[in-house]
Structure 1
Amino acid sequence: MTALVGRTRARGVETLSLDSTATRNALSAALVTELDGALTDCGKDPDVRAVVLTHTGTTFCAGADLRDPPDPDALVGLLRRIVELPTPVLARITGHVRAGGFGLLAACDMAAAGPEATFAFTEVRIGVAPAVISLPVLPRTDPRALARYYLTGERFTPADAVRLGLLTVTADDVDDALAPLLDGLRRSAPQALAETKRLLTARVLETFDRDAAELTALSARLFASAQAREGMTAFLERRDAAWVV
């Protein structure tokens, strides 16, 4: 089978690249499994000092693959893997982030995006809710500012994403923006990084422990609903859903 996650390493930084451009890097069952395995390998390797999660093509991640969606428990496991990994994980984004892609973005410890990036929580427009991805998103964002984009599904910019708390930095050259972050991680002691990350992610993991089962059940219920079937059909047929007025 063709690999869905590219892997390269340079000076202790492992770069994992989502490489399913035919589906705009949508989160299929296969992609979730492969990415989880790659992250597990990175967490066990003492030579990996940081992980950069990036993408090929013009889309970082289009959300769940509607034709081959991952099991909600598997998606929760992947997001928790990123949060719990003792090695810092940084998102490098030069394209679009939609729906479930925010789970990956928010689970990362830091994130940088270029000017080509666009963002949208599109779940409400296909009849579901940003349920599972809320596990890492809600603890790391401003809830009042986030409400606009959660409820309307409208697009927003990298500057908006910084204001919300979803991005660390945006710049014309995303690699220039990442360079000082990676340099700082290379100069930091691995043990100290792991324990400092544990301090930073404690609140996020509390949310996983408290809410994962409820939000997974909500996701499954909504995806099985009549409105979701109509919304996903309308999306695939490139038309407005029946409820649009």
Structure 2
Amino acid sequence: MSLLSTAHERGITTLTLDCPDNRNALSSRLVGELARALEDCGKDPGVRAVVLTHTGSTFSAGADVKAPPSPYTFVALLRAIVELPKPVVARVSGHVRAGGLGLVSACDIVAAGAEADFALTEVRIGVAPCVISLTLLPRLDPRAAARYYLTGERFDAAEAARIGLVTVFGDDVDGALAPVLDGLRKASPQGLAEAKRLVTARVLETFERDAEDVVQRSASLFASAEAREGMTAFLERRDAAWVL
């Protein structure tokens, strides 16, 4: 059974993360399915843009700690979103945690509803948002990035818009998204591809410069004793040993 569902309407292909029982955690299987679907969308002349959304109350809880993708595989997925010659729009109506924010920030446009909230929880399990910094740091206000990277605090859609993560938000996410999709349908394929190259250039520079470093740093952190304690505490639903 697929972890990703696909629908198409008037030039817009919607890819839906569809493993709500696992809070759409980014397993190696889900990342692989999403990468293949994006590749198909890139080749299909009938696809003007891609909407990435979710079932259940969580867009994505971040990496699946039981079956995580390799850091290189996840970097490749984020880069595929950024480099796709068609706009990718995130539609968020639930919780986004850790690696899920990397997925959202890789998208060109992000629409969020009233139910959406966000948190970079890596510091609470003994690691850091290394790989997702490739797409997050070029987007976020630096002071806000420092706060939420360091504290793991939760923030809402309005705050996410203020700091550069979310493009449009409202009580009705589909109402907020409708004019965006209307605009994309009116744009030419060539115009969209070339405009996207302009607005993603700075993000792609971070991949060229930093990808290997953040992959190595991530691997080192996840292999550490603190990370083992943090992930064990998370799975056992208890405070980690360092909590004061």
Q: Report the TM-score when normalising by structure 2.
A: 0.99
Are 2:111 and 1:87 aligned? no
- Structure 2 CA distance for aligned equivalents of residues 94 and 145 of structure 1: 22
CA deviation vs aligned residue, 1:79-122 (integer Å, no higher than 9, x gap): 00000000100000000000000111000000011111111000
- Structure 2 CA distance for aligned equivalents of residues 51 and 130 of structure 1: 26
- Structure 2 CA distance for aligned equivalents of residues 131 and 59 of structure 1: 22
- Counterparts of residues 69-84 of structure 1 (less than 5 Å): 69-84=68-83
- Counterparts of residues 109-124 of structure 1 (less than 5 Å): 109-124=108-123
CA deviation vs aligned residue, 1:48-99 (integer Å, no higher than 9, x gap): 0010000000000000000001010000000000000001000000000000
- Structure 1 CA distance for aligned equivalents of residues 50 and 68 of structure 2: 25
- Counterparts of residues 1-245 of structure 1 (less than 5 Å): 2-245=1-244
After the TM superposition, list the runs of 4 or more consecutive aligned residues in structure 1 that deviate by more than 2 angstroms: none
Cα RMSD after superposing both structures: 0.5
- Structure 2 CA distance for aligned equivalents of residues 180 and 21 of structure 1: 28
- Structure 1 CA distance for aligned equivalents of residues 93 and 25 of structure 2: 16
- Structure 2 CA distance for aligned equivalents of residues 171 and 179 of structure 1: 12
CA deviation vs aligned residue, 1:174-196 (integer Å, no higher than 9, x gap): 11111100110110110011000
- Structure 1 CA distance for aligned equivalents of residues 144 and 71 of structure 2: 27
Say how many residue pairs are matched: 244
Offset at residue 145 of structure 1 (A): 1.6
Gaps of 5+ in 1: none
Q: Residue 138 of structure 2: SS of its match in structure 1?
A: helix
Gaps of 5+ in 2: none
Identity of aligned residues (%): 69
- Structure 2 CA distance for aligned equivalents of residues 6 and 145 of structure 1: 34
Offset at residue 22 of structure 1 (A): 1.6
- Structure 1 CA distance for aligned equivalents of residues 36 and 212 of structure 2: 22
Amino acid corresponding to residue 207 of structure 2 in structure 1: F
